[in-house]
Structure 1
Amino acid sequence: MDQKRCNIVFDMGNVLMTFNGMDFARAFTENEADAALLNDALFARDSWALLDAGVIEHDTVRRIAEDHLPARLHPALHACLEHWPELSRPLDEVCAIVRDLHERGFGLYLLSNASTRIDLQLAGCPVYPLMDGRVVSGFERIMKPDPAIYRLLCERYDLEPSACLFVDDNQDNCRGAEVAGMRAFHFARDAAALKCAIDAHAKACGCA
Structure 2
Amino acid sequence: MYKSIIFDIGGVLVDFDPKAYLVDRLCNAEMEEKVYDLTFGSEEWQLLDAGKLSRYDGNQRMLEHARAEGCAFEVQGVLDDWMHILRPRLRMLELVRRLKNHGYCVYYLSNIPQDVLELLTERGVLAQFDGGVASCEVQVNKPDPQIYKALLKKYQLKASECVFIDDRLENVQAAFALGFAGIQMKDSVGTLIRSLATCNVTLR
Measured against the shorter chain, the TM-score band is 0.7 to 0.9
Of 100, 103, 106, the residue aligned with 1:105 is: 103
Distance 1:75 1:184, change over 3 A: same
Give the deviation of 1:110 after TM superposition: 0.5
**Aligned match of 1:159:** 157
Give the deviation of 1:75 after TM superposition: 6.3
Instruction: Tell me which amino acid in the other structure corresponds to 1:104.
Output: H
Distance 1:145 1:13, change over 3 A: same
Of 39, 44, 49, the residue aligned with 2:41 is: 44
**Aligned match of 1:10:** 7
Distance 1:120 1:25, change over 3 A: farther
Q: Which runs of 5+ in 2 are unaligned?
A: none
Distance 1:203 1:26, change over 3 A: closer
Give the deviation of 1:124 after TM superposition: 7.6
Q: For 1:62 and 1:35, how far apart are their aligned partners in 2?
A: 18
Deviates more, 1:111-120 or 1:167-176: 111-120
Deviations 1:117-165 (A, max 9, x none): 2324415865421000010111101121122211110110111211110
Distance 1:174 1:9, change over 3 A: same
- What is the CA RMSD across the aligned residues, in angstroms? 3.0
User: Given the alignment of the two structures, is residue 56 of structure 1 paired with residue 49 of structure 2, yes or no?
Assistant: no
Give the deviation of 1:191 after TM superposition: 2.0
Q: For 2:201 and 2:135, how far apart are their aligned partners in 1?
A: 31
**Aligned match of 1:149:** 147
User: Given the alignment of the two structures, is residue 86 of structure 1 paired with residue 81 of structure 2, yes or no?
Assistant: no
Deviates more, 1:68-77 or 1:105-114: 68-77
Of 24, 27, 34, the residue aligned with 1:32 is: 27
Distance 1:75 1:32, change over 3 A: same
Instruction: Tell me which amino acid in the other structure corresponds to 1:118.
Output: V
Q: For 2:102 and 2:138, how far apart are their aligned partners in 1?
A: 30
Distance 1:127 1:56, change over 3 A: closer
| TM-score calculated relative to the size of structure 1 | 0.80
Q: Which secondary structure does the structure 2 equivalent of 1:184 belong to?
A: strand
Q: Which secondary structure does the structure 1 equivalent of 2:182 belong to?
A: strand
Q: For 2:179 and 2:133, how far apart are their aligned partners in 1?
A: 17
| TM-score calculated relative to the size of structure 2 | 0.82
Give the deviation of 1:190 after TM superposition: 3.0
Deviations 1:22-46 (A, max 9, x none): 455578x6x4249725433211222
8 Å contact from structure 1 (residues 86, 124) kept in 2: no
Q: For 2:123 and 2:169, how far apart are their aligned partners in 1?
A: 23
8 Å contact from structure 1 (residues 16, 125) kept in 2: no
Instruction: Tell me which amino acid in the other structure corresponds to 1:109.
Output: Y
Of 119, 122, 133, the residue aligned with 2:131 is: 133
Q: Which runs of 5+ in 1 are unaligned?
A: none
Instruction: Tell me which amino acid in the other structure corresponds to 2:189.
Output: A
Deviations 1:40-64 (A, max 9, x none): 3211222211221222332332122
Of 120, 124, 140, the residue aligned with 1:122 is: 120
